[in-house]
Structure 1
Amino acid sequence: MSGSGYDAVVDVDDEGDLGHTDLQEDLEFHSSNFNEPSSSSRGRKAPAAGLPPPATSSSSSSKRYLWSMSFYAQFFDVDTSAVLSRCWAALFPRANFLDVLEGNPDLYGPFWIATTVVLILFLGGTISQYLSTTGKSQFAYDFRLLSGAAGLIYGYTLVIPVALFLALRYFGSESANLLECWALYGYSNLIWIPVALISWSPISILNWVFVGVGFGLSVVFLVRNLYPVLSATDRQVSKILLVIVILLHAGLSLTIKILFFAHGSPVARSPAGGDADKKPEF
């Protein structure tokens, strides 16, 4: 060889070109993807509009404390149509009342129903006392009837559901709900409004009939709706609780009859100049 150099081996294919040198077919220009999210962030989706913020965000305004108005406002979150439909379902029960509540028991209806019953009991008891003293002595309003009605109705509507709820929990009923018990007893008081409006008659037998009808309708409403909850406990326990519910409601009915729809009610003050030792007429 004439001089030192490099030897090169060239592979020439059958068509005579040096390998595949047609670069026009393989070289393509692609748009840049530098602005697209990376694969790690591609899996995270942006929150949809209208949904609440993530749990990690600080939303202290959604917390409801016992001393805040928002805590109690949730128990009155109903409109007029809902309250009226529940009142209708209480007077003319066709379906289970807990189904009518649709998981949203309220205290608005029970509170105003109890308040209305208290006022009408006071009015009916006052009229009854007035009729019993007509022509005998000067009549004077006795507001002990009002305090007696408030203590009876509010106490019964608040305390009995709490006692029933605690008993159901104690005997293993997981379906018991305190708000539903309050709503059930509160709406059951609705029947006493028409009863109180017509039970001021001086005819005692009519008053007994009216109060008996009120007791029958309201106790059927209570038993019908409480039975599925009571049956979740032991069979013997459910029977005992059912009897207690009926007896307590019978006691309420008798108390209403004796204290507010009987001439010479023991709650009312004896009229001036009247017979203080006269026994009440039932």
Structure 2
Amino acid sequence: MSGLIALDWGTSSLRAMRMGEDGVILETRRQPWGIRQLPAGGFTAALDAVTQGWPSLARIASGMIGSRSGWREVAYLDLPAGADQLAAALDTRDGLTIVPGLRNARGPDVMRGEETQIVGLMALHEAAADATVLLPGTHSKWVSLRQGSVVDFCTLMTGELFALLREHSILGVGVDASVTAGDGDAFLDGVRQARDSGAAGAFSRLFATRARMLDGALKPASIPDYLSGLLIGEEFRSMQADQRMRSDQPLWLIGDAALCNRYRLAAAEFSIGLAPAVDDTAAAGLWWLARAARLLDVTTPISASGVSS
């Protein structure tokens, strides 16, 4: 039987996908078994449980499972690196293939998991092989691609900073913890404050969040949206100021649809064009890498450029 078991295994969760011989996902299973919260029996028990009843197929995983705290550490590849280099460096032992992460000496900076999403994006959209890609999240990644290779990337801890400011700073005092995002005007106000903050940056405007609330200009319930806008806006302001990423082509977004929509609204305030958002490309990336490494019983040709599906 041909097919693949693809695993997106991160810090807080495990997603297992059984894929058919054509790369279509036949079944998906999710468990809260990230590398920091495993069931009794550890990694092996988690893998056996999440794939129970599935046929014996090649198994490939990406994400923090290959980190120092994961199943086994798989060395980072230094930039520049593309899909072909990743496929050649796959680590196959004990019945599990793990995708290496990438290391950028400029910074320095590292990624694990996002490289597979980028391979999947290029497999699904050939035009993305020369582009800037943004993967929003707890640790947002801005990635520069040239001819199918990652040549630069930068990590911004936007999501983690947002959580820290909301839950553990004076800016969150008086804000109901159950309040969810919903004030679009406050969000855009925050984006514009970051955009117009000049060389000082959005950190020079952070405490004004508190002052605005005390003055009555900002409702306590709107603080999370305002902070979100301020921090996301700072991503765009700092990336434009640094000029590391190309801005002459549409920016590609990969990630949760709701979060990507926030970044789409922010991009408009900076006059940045966007390609259509892509929700999830990890499965496509794992499939491509498995085929390139001949882990699959699939005979259809695959492009040497590393970007064809």
TM-score, normalised to structure 2, is 0.21
Higher helix fraction (1 or 2): 1
TM-score, normalised to structure 1, is 0.22
Higher strand fraction (1 or 2): 2
